[in-house]
Structure 1
Amino acid sequence: MTHESRAAWRELLDTLRDLDRSFLEGDKAVTDDRHVADGYRMLATTLGVALDTYLFADPSRPQWLEVNSPWRPDRRWGGDNTDAIYYMCPVDPERRYRISGNRGDSVYFSVTAYNEPSPGAWSDRIVALFRDDELDFDADGNFTLDFGPVPDAAVLMTRDYQADPHTGKRVTWQIEALEEPAPFRHGDDETAAALRASAAWLRTMFAIVPLAVGVRNDDAHNLGHETNMAANDFAAPYQVPDFNFGWSARDACYSYGSFDLAEDEALVITHRPPACRFWNLVVWNQFMAVPGVRDARSSVNGHTAVPNSDGTVTVVLSRGMTKHPNSLTTLDYPRGNLAFRWFLADQVPEQPRVQLVKIADAPDRVS
């Protein structure tokens, strides 16, 4: 007897066997042993998220799945950060759901509904957004909202940003389906489809990562119309549109950068935060994950940063720590990526300014 789930399982194993080529071979190959190890950790992380989302989830019996967390090393992926907790819940576009909870100490939270172009494919469109300033709260901070049916909605994702998630009270979330659940069945066809969707999810992730770091300006060369991305710099900030690949936040502006640092070097990063609900700068490895630990500082936000006298904020990034109040460490990673995000900014922020200096020449105080 032929079982489709057996064939799908072997396809998933084939996918896992070959995905390390994305970070070991070709133009995207990483160059240090830490990133090689991170590549295998990201394989395990992404597999866990994929199986939670596709193999074990049931949209007629919904539950929130923790997919990004500052406390779980196995839930750092896809552009995570140390200030936020994200949950995901697959949904049926024809069903009605009730979402409830308590706002806790969140400085920004929302629920976003995304589409799914095909099973396991990453979203390319935001189909609905519910933000904290659009909800009604009782005296204790409790809220309730109804969702659905919404055509093309495939998954809900929550965002909860905290000034300090280690001391603040996180948002609590509940979700219930308002219709009777579908008949329970985990048969051969359903399992095969879930495994194939999981494999598709994995392949998409490793088509994106590892991210390029680029070349240092002192190593750059002119190739005419081809322009290399420069290391130790940031791209111009942009506002997220409704049609956007992946799970970006519609309320956010982003600016991405990279670092390539010797042991005695630092980046001096200065930006002027616009009026906004929340902003942060986080250090990523080349797999869009914060490699940080709680006893080291790999991010800074608008609540923890010490501003300069003119309202700008300067951050000093190095492979260790410096005396600057806004010092960040790469945890001795020589190369990696950086991400600014600004939520509900009144305008697209100015491009951050970056200087590459010797650590001995980096500022040790705000100006």
Structure 2
Amino acid sequence: MTEHQSTAAWRELLATLGELDSSFLDGDRAVTDDRHIADGYRMLATTLGVALDAYLFPEPGRPQFVAVNTPFRRDRRWGGDNTDAYYFICPVDPARRYRISGNKGDSVYFSVTAYNEPSPGAWSDRVVSIVRDSDLDVDADGNFAFEFPATPDAAVLMTRDYQAHPPTGRPVTWHIEALEEPDPIRHGDAETAASLRAVAAWMRMMFAIIPLPVGTRVDDEHGLGHETAHAANEFADPYQVPDSNFGWSARDACYSYGSFVLDDDEALVITHRPPSCRFWNLVVWNQFMATYGDEEARSSLNNHSAALNSDGSVTIVLSRGLTTHPNSLTTLGYPRGNLAFRWFLTDGVPERPGVKLVKAADAPTDVH
């Protein structure tokens, strides 16, 4: 009996899934605590769902925006998510024209970015184009509409919608339609096999990146604390995202990444001087670039929720549990993880945030 192409591709995908946990169980990137091992398997399930939405089910002639990051869906926390934003994707045909419309809701920043795809399932390495909210005519009721033209190399559209207060804010509503007649639906053996192989390729690339490393503490005996890039409880220098970039990064953003290693009785006191920008936030991640939690587990802070000091700076207290400080963030008991600052539409690259490791009992309890 001849084996179908889709049968072979399905079994290849299953084999890939069976091997990817080695990225967090073995070698230099192996995680060191049980919760992160469990998170690794949850991340396998999460990213499989995203990959199927991105590569198996779409039809560019019959487009749909599908949620890939949200503040509330636990199965859509991956790839550098945060509790302040909604992201949707829609694979597109570079030869087609599309009409995109919607309502801005309570968004403080929204955009649509087109990315390339070097090969099926390969991660983007270039921002093809971007449409920002400031480029659009938004009426008094918040409605907008625009045509996205046929764009060479555009393989996927990603929307971004940042909210000042996600629990109460109205997210952007998105609609998309193709302006040319769609091709006949083809769910055949060859097409399905190609899609499944793209799913596997995308997931292999994802787990080549995660889990993220956590720096060595300066006070560890064999630490590399003098090398900032390898030091825990520090941030790297902020940088502006270029057009040529890996993955689905935001062209309008500057980023600064760090990691933390905290004992039960310790806290990080983070000092941030916000630049002029549309939006900024700080997010606490596990080593799989996913936020921890729910409303009672505050894992991010933004320029609308942060309490300012008298000089305009922001002091943030990060510890294993919440404290009384108005800008308290929690790791939910995780001993180690990663941190990410992002700033949208800044006037310039921000200053590197300062960090001080203290005993939790000595951390500040209020703004100053």
Say yes or no: TM over 0.5: yes
Rounded Cα–Cα distance in structure 2 between residues aligned with 1:141 and 1:70: 22
Rounded Cα–Cα distance in structure 2 between residues aligned with 1:335 and 1:63: 38
Q: Give 1:127's aligned residue.
A: 128
Count residues with an aligned counterpart. 367
Q: Give 1:2's aligned residue.
A: 3
CA contact (8 A) 1:318 1:328 kept: yes
Residue type of the alignment partner of 2:246: F
Residue type of the alignment partner of 2:32: T
User: What is the correspondence of 1:138-217 to structure 2 with a 5 Å cutoff?
Assistant: 138-217=139-218
CA contact (8 A) 1:220 1:230 kept: no
Q: Give 1:100's aligned residue.
A: 101
C-alpha change, 1:95 and 1:220, in structure 2 (3 Å) is farther
Rounded Cα–Cα distance in structure 1 between residues aligned with 2:311 and 2:165: 25
Q: Give 1:308's aligned residue.
A: 309
Q: CA deviation at 1:139?
A: 2.0
Q: Give 2:268's aligned residue.
A: 267
Give ranges in structure 2 of 5+ residues lacking alignment. Answer: none
Q: CA deviation at 1:2?
A: 2.4
Rounded Cα–Cα distance in structure 2 between residues aligned with 1:270 and 1:191: 51
What TM-score results when the alignment is normalised by the length of structure 2? 0.98
User: What is the correspondence of 1:278-317 to structure 2 with a 5 Å cutoff?
Assistant: 278-317=279-318
Q: Give 1:86's aligned residue.
A: 87
What TM-score results when the alignment is normalised by the length of structure 1? 0.98
CA contact (8 A) 2:238 2:255 kept: yes
Deviations 1:85-114 (A, max 9, x none): 000000000000000000111000000000
CA contact (8 A) 1:220 1:228 kept: no
Deviations 1:50-73 (A, max 9, x none): 011111111110000100011111
C-alpha change, 1:319 and 1:360, in structure 2 (3 Å) is same
Indicate yes or no: 2:40 matched with 1:39.
Answer: yes
CA contact (8 A) 1:100 1:144 kept: yes
Name the SS of the counterpart of 2:230 in structure 1.
coil
Q: Give 2:113's aligned residue.
A: 112
Name the SS of the counterpart of 1:122 in structure 2.
coil
CA contact (8 A) 2:228 2:236 kept: no
Deviations 1:276-304 (A, max 9, x none): 00000010000000011121211100000
Name the SS of the counterpart of 2:59 in structure 1.
coil
Identity among equivalent positions (%) equals 75
Residue type of the alignment partner of 2:109: Y
Rounded Cα–Cα distance in structure 2 between residues aligned with 1:219 and 1:275: 37
CA contact (8 A) 2:316 2:329 kept: yes
Rounded Cα–Cα distance in structure 2 between residues aligned with 1:227 and 1:220: 16
Name the SS of the counterpart of 2:234 in structure 1.
coil
Deviations 1:218-245 (A, max 9, x none): 116478x988610010000000000000
Deviations 1:199-255 (A, max 9, x none): 0011000000000011000116478x9886100100000000000001111110000
Q: Give 1:218's aligned residue.
A: 219
Give ranges in structure 1 of 5+ residues lacking alignment. Answer: none
Rounded Cα–Cα distance in structure 2 between residues aligned with 1:201 and 1:292: 26
Name the SS of the counterpart of 1:217 in structure 2.
coil
Residue type of the alignment partner of 2:301: V
Runs of 4 or more, structure 1, over 2 Å off, are 220-223, 225-228
Rounded Cα–Cα distance in structure 1 between residues aligned with 2:55 and 2:203: 12
Q: Give 2:362's aligned residue.
A: 361
Rounded Cα–Cα distance in structure 1 between residues aligned with 2:3 and 2:316: 59
Rounded Cα–Cα distance in structure 2 between residues aligned with 1:56 and 1:282: 31
Residue type of the alignment partner of 2:297: A
Rounded Cα–Cα distance in structure 1 between residues aligned with 2:48 and 2:79: 13
Residue type of the alignment partner of 1:47: L
Q: CA deviation at 1:185?
A: 1.2
Name the SS of the counterpart of 2:202 in structure 1.
helix
Q: CA deviation at 1:148?
A: 2.1
Rounded Cα–Cα distance in structure 1 between residues aligned with 2:14 and 2:286: 26
